Amino acid sequence: MILLPFFIVLFGKKGLLLTRFLFAIDCKCTNLVPNIKIFCDNIMSNNLYPLKFTPVYKTKIWGGNKFEKIFNRHGVPAHCGESWEVSDVKQSVSVVSNGFLKGNSLDELVEIYMGDLVGDSVYETFGNLFPLLVKFIDASDDLSVQVHPDDELAWARHNCPGKTEMWYVMHAEENAKLVGGFNRAITKEEYVAAVDNGNVHSLLNVIDVYEGDVFFVPPGCVHAIGKGVMLLEVQQTSDITYRIFDYNRRDENGELRELHTKEALDALDFDCVNNKKQEYHPKNNASANLVNCKYFTTNIFELDMPIERDFPEIDSFIIYICVEGGCDLEWDDNKDRVHIACGETVLVPAAIKNLRFFPEGSTKLLEVYIQTENNN
The residues that are catalytic are 243
Rounded Cα distance between 337 and 98, Å, is 11
Burial class of residue 113 (count of CB atoms within 10 Å of its CB; 0-12, 13-18, 19+): buried
- Do residues 216 and 166 make contact, with C-beta atoms less than 8 angstroms apart? yes
Of 233, 238, 204, the closest CA to residue 221 belongs to: 204
* CA–CA separation, 337 and 359 (whole Å): 12
Q: Are 244 and 192 in contact (CB under 8 A)?
A: no
- Determine the straight-line distance between the first and last CA of the chain, rounded to whole angstroms: 36
CB neighbour list of residue 69: distance below 8 Å, 6 or more residues apart: none
Count of alpha carbons within 13 angstroms of residue 117, beta-carbon side? 23
d(CA 50, CA 338): 7
Q: Which DSSP string corresponds to 24-61? A: HHHTT-S---S-HHHHHHHHHTT----B-B--EEEEEE
DSSP state of 96: B
Q: Supply the DSSP string of 176-243, one letter for each residue.
A: -EEEEEESS---HHHHHHHHHTT-GGGGEEEEE--TT-EEEE-TT--EEEPTTEEEEEEEES----EE
Q: Which ranges constitute the DSSP H helices of the chain?
A: 4-11, 13-26, 36-44, 66-71, 106-113, 115-118, 120-126, 151-158, 188-196, 261-267
- Among left, alpha and beta (phi > 0; psi -120 to 50; other), residue 295 is alpha
